[in-house]
């Protein structure tokens, strides 16, 4: 078990470089299964979710080579075996092996995925889509068996714009026979990144990034290379940090249009923010205006930035409303923030945040990835020492977080307990 110890209330300045997007990388890695050769993925973030996926590739007898941020996956000797629960439950994205193995092998045996405890997280939309393509889906306790003699392209209507289901159904249909159209597809930037890799492999996909994706099946996919796009959620988290305690804090390697919904809100609050081509500079100002945020699918305000943003709302001058619409359980960090001095009232998926309140260091618990990141921001803002336990959640998604923060003047360390 690890904990983070933070001495807060320091001004942070300098440059934080953003890494590759977790939620792209965790789909690009399983997608490599679809090429019967070598896939090279550059700019892979150094996070524990990456390592969990590499372990699954090893179970499947793939040849994996990681050098710095370059991951090479050779699937020539793939052995399609059961993916045990001890592997699948380490992260949500293990379910992308369903689409990828079904697409290539027409057979998958895998246990249920894991992931943050932010809601009930059903996978019915994925399963319905696999069935629409012609797969038979059998459940035995926590195990799924997906099999098909043939996968045949069809029209698939998603009842919700699910990121995971959109990606999984692209993976399952690129080698299917004929045309698949995914209607009401998710439009998150990561989906374009996955489609680009598949297209580089020889897949025929159009419309990724819109709510209608068309896939014409091909017989085989070949070697390909892709670069993971910058992580808009990591960037958003550090931009908010700049608004909390930055003194010309520069967040570099950002695609500003990917986080416009955040930067628009920061401007509305009266933040000092400068947006350049691939970087954003931000400093703390007093008297921020309270605002309302409502999380939505892309291009709306990202659910993954709601929790970090709630920390900034504790520093605004008045009452802000944080309305979560995607996950039922996004308020797990609030008791910790209140313990640190915040004044937040939760009502179901909504929170009323009364600011400004001085935050003070406390012992708190990370209940999930983004909630944990929120506590890091709170600890860096607070007077005194904050000790965060269960930080494994945070390390799943923020690469080199201690190095990146120490480098801009934060006093933060990771301790084994």
Q: Please report how close the Cβ of residue 341 comes to ligand EPZ at its closest, in angstroms.
A: 25
Here the contacts of 334-341 (C-beta below 8 Å, separation 24 or greater) are 334/310, 336/362, 336/364, 336/365, 336/367, 336/371, 336/375, 336/378, 337/310, 337/311, 337/374, 337/375, 337/378, 339/364, 340/364, 340/378, 340/379, 340/382, 340/386, 341/382
Q: Which of 62, 116, 245, 316 is catalytic?
A: 116
* Binding residues vs ligand EPZ (CB under 6 A): 22-23, 26, 92-93, 116, 118-119, 121-126, 160, 162-165, 186, 303-304, 326-327, 369-370, 397
Q: Please report how close the Cβ of residue 233 comes to ligand EPZ at its closest, in angstroms.
A: 6
Angle, CA 47 vertex, CA 166 and CA 44 arms, to 5°: 65
Angstrom distances, CA of residue 158 to CA of 138, 181, 382: 21, 11, 43
* Non-local CB neighbours of 18 within 8 Å, separated by 6+ positions: 230, 231, 234, 235, 238, 251, 252, 253, 254
Q: Please report how close the Cβ of residue 325 comes to ligand EPZ at its closest, in angstroms.
A: 9
**158/353 with CB nearer ligand EPZ:** 158
Q: Please report how close the Cβ of residue 293 comes to ligand EPZ at its closest, in angstroms.
A: 15
Selection from 18, 40, 14 nearest residue 29 by Cα: 40
Q: Please report how close the Cβ of residue 123 comes to ligand EPZ at its closest, in angstroms.
A: 4
**157/274 with CB nearer ligand EPZ:** 157
How many alpha carbons fall within 13 Å on the CB side of residue 344?
32
Using an 8 Å Cβ cutoff, are 56 and 87 in contact? yes
CA distance 284 to 271: 7
**104/330 with CB nearer ligand EPZ:** 330
Q: Please report how close the Cβ of residue 212 comes to ligand EPZ at its closest, in angstroms.
A: 17
**136/328 with CB nearer ligand EPZ:** 328
Closest residue by beta carbon to ligand EPZ: 164
Angstrom distances, CA of residue 307 to CA of 106, 162, 274, 357: 39, 20, 23, 17
Using an 8 Å Cβ cutoff, are 97 and 33 in contact? yes
Cα 109 from chain centre: 25
**245 catalytic, yes or no?**
no
**307/381 with CB nearer ligand EPZ:** 307
Using an 8 Å Cβ cutoff, are 333 and 375 in contact? yes
**322/327 with CB nearer ligand EPZ:** 327
The residues that are catalytic are: 116
């Amino acid at each position: 078990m690890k904990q983070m110890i933070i001495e807060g209330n320091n001004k942070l300045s300098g440059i934080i470089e953003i890494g590759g997007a977790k939620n792209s990388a965790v789909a690009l890695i399983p997608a490599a299964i679809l090429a019967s050769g070598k896939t090279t993925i550059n700019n892979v973030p150094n996070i524990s979710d990456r390592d969990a996926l590499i372990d699954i590739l090893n179970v499947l007898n793939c040849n994996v080579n990681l050098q710095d941020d370059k991951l090479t996956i050779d699937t020539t000797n793939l052995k399609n075996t059961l993916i045990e629960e001890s592997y699948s439950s380490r992260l949500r994205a293990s379910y992308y092996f369903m689409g990828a193995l079904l697409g290539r092998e027409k057979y998958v045996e895998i246990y249920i995925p894991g992931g943050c405890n932010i809601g009930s997280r059903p996978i019915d939309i994925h399963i319905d889509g696999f069935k629409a393509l012609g797969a038979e889906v059998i459940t035995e306790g926590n195990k799924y068996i997906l099999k098909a003699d043939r996968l045949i392209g069809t029209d698939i209507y998603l009842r919700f714009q699910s990121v995971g289901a959109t990606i999984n159904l692209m993976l399952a249909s690129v080698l299917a026979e004929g045309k698949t159209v995914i209607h009401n597809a998710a439009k998150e930037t990561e989906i374009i990144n996955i489609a680009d890799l598949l297209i580089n492999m020889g897949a025929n996909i159009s419309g990724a990034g819109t709510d209608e994706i068309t896939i014409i099946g091909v017989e085989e996919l070949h070697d390909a290379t892709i670069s993971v796009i910058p992580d808009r959620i990591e960037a958003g988290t550090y931009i908010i940090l700049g608004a909390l305690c930055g003194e010309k804090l520069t967040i570099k390697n950002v695609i500003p249009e990917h986080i416009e919904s955040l930067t628009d809100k920061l401007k509305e609050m009266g933040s000092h923010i400068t947006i350049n081509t691939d970087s954003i500079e931000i400093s703390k100002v007093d008297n921020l205006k309270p605002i309302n945020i409502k999380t939505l699918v892309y291009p709306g305000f990202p659910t993954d930035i709601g929790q970090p943003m709630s920390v900034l709302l504790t520093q605004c001058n008045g009452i802000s409303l944080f309305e979560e619409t995607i996950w039922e359980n996004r308020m797990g960090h609030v008791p910790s923030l209140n313990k640190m001095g915040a004044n937040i009232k939760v009502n179901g998926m909504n929170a009323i945040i009364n600011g400004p309140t001085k935050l003070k260091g406390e012992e708190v618990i990370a209940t999930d990835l983004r909630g944990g990141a929120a506590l890091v921001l709170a600890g860096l803002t607070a007077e005194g020492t904050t000790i965060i336990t269960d930080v494994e959640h945070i390390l799943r998604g923020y690469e080199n977080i201690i190095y990146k923060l120490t480098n801009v003047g934060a006093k933060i360390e990771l301790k084994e307990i």
